[in-house]
Structure 1
Amino acid sequence: MHISMYQSSVPVMIRMLGHLKGILHKGIASAEARKFDETVLLNGRLAPDMYPLRRRVQVATDMAKGCAARLSGFEPPVYEDNDATMEELFARIDKTIDYLNTFKPEQIDGSENRPVVSKTRHGTSHFDSGQDYLLHYVVPNFYFQISTAYLILRNNGVEVGLEDFLGAH
């Protein structure tokens, strides 16, 4: 069975961004129930030198939109990283999902052997193929950001479990 580049990217990222929204909603509910400000969660970190929760969401959405754009030969849209509330993060996730939904399989399929250049604030990365870019850079980074967001919430007492991360099957 052949799995296409599109199937391996866009639908997977849309699904996981939806799960990210779900765990963030649980974070808000937990903050309200325990009577603390949501900014505690937004600024939560696992270690002092790691990004806070809000930055994890920003990077996850950047990875998703960047992946779809670059695999289809476009430059990704740039979002300002000034999200300061959960509602703003939800809007960012929704905007990213809407953007991902504009892509069709034929725009991304066939990119597995095409070189990809990724320009970020950290510099320019060159990948020999779209498949290397997707499987060795985007997927691990995307899941790392969402996993770390999950763990920050969990570390702050939010009752989330594996089913929240994976969703229903």
Structure 2
Amino acid sequence: MTISLYDAVIPPMRQIVGSVQGVLAKGAKHCEAEGKSADALLSDCIHETMLPLTFQLDSVIHHSIGAIDGVRAGEFNAASGLKTHDYAGYQAALAETDERLKALSPDDVNALGGKDVIFRFREQAMPFTAEGFLFSFSKPNLYFHATTAYDILRMKGVPLGKRDYLGQIQLKTG
């Protein structure tokens, strides 16, 4: 069986973006039940040396649809100057991210194969192929930031489990 670039990238990205949407929905429900504002969660982090939930959510978006945009442009930059939202705004931004990923056609994504991509961070410029960038850089970053967002909410008492993190798994159909 041959697997395409689209198959290796877009469904897993949608799965994780969807799981973060579900985790945030549970976070909002938990806060409502506790009589607290979900916005208060946005500044939380799991350790003082780590960035807050806002950065984790921005990074989920940046390393999913932002990665595809970067491959198309041939350049991907470190996340900076991103628009910070309130809790509901992040929920909407993640929904938009999923819609944009869903709208990508296999032909459009597969055509990106072999394309040169430069990752720029401060003075560094790291050259990749599209596959190397997506598989070894953006997807691991996507998983890391999704996991960290999950961990922050779990630490704050949101009743989450492994199934929440996994999201909609890709079951065999037919």
**How does the TM-score come out when normalised to structure 1?**
0.86
Change (3 A) 1:107 1:114: same
Question: Any gaps of 5 or more consecutive residues in structure 1?
Answer: none
Query: How far did residue 161 of structure 1 move?
Result: 0.3
Q: State the match for 1:147 in structure 2.
A: 147
Query: How far did residue 107 of structure 1 move?
Result: 1.8
Moved more, 136-145 or 58-67: 58-67
Change (3 A) 1:79 1:103: farther
CA–CA separation in structure 2 for the residues paired with 1:2 and 1:168 = 23
Change (3 A) 1:160 1:48: same
CA–CA separation in structure 2 for the residues paired with 1:167 and 1:135 = 20
Q: Secondary structure at the match of 1:128?
A: strand
Q: Is the 8 A contact 1:57 1:149 kept in 2?
A: yes
Q: Secondary structure at the match of 2:148?
A: helix
Q: Is the 8 A contact 1:9 1:68 kept in 2?
A: no
Q: Is the 8 A contact 1:113 1:128 kept in 2?
A: no
Q: State the match for 1:132 in structure 2.
A: 132
Q: Is the 8 A contact 1:66 1:75 kept in 2?
A: no
Moved more, 55-64 or 35-44: 35-44
**How does the TM-score come out when normalised to structure 2?**
0.84
Q: Is the 8 A contact 1:72 1:107 kept in 2?
A: no
Q: Is the 8 A contact 1:60 1:142 kept in 2?
A: yes
Q: State the match for 2:85 in structure 1.
A: 84
Q: State the match for 1:20 in structure 2.
A: 20
- Aligned residue pairs total 167
Q: Secondary structure at the match of 2:64?
A: helix
Question: Any gaps of 5 or more consecutive residues in structure 2?
Answer: 170-174
CA–CA separation in structure 2 for the residues paired with 1:102 and 1:7 = 14
Moved more, 129-138 or 28-37: 28-37
Change (3 A) 1:86 1:103: same
Query: How far did residue 126 of structure 1 move?
Result: 2.8
Moved more, 139-148 or 35-44: 35-44
Q: State the match for 1:115 in structure 2.
A: 116
Moved more, 20-29 or 126-135: 126-135
Query: How far did residue 168 of structure 1 move?
Result: 4.5
Q: Residue by residue, what CA displacement relative to the aligned partner does 1:88-108 show, whole Å, maximum 9, x if unpaired?
A: 001111221222233211222
CA–CA separation in structure 1 for the residues paired with 2:124 and 2:102 = 26
Query: How far did residue 83 of structure 1 move?
Result: 3.0
4+ aligned runs moved over 6 Å, structure 1: none
Greater RCO (Cα-Cα under 8 Å, separation 6 or more)? 2
Query: How far did residue 119 of structure 1 move?
Result: 4.2
CA–CA separation in structure 1 for the residues paired with 2:168 and 2:70 = 30
CA–CA separation in structure 1 for the residues paired with 2:70 and 2:83 = 24
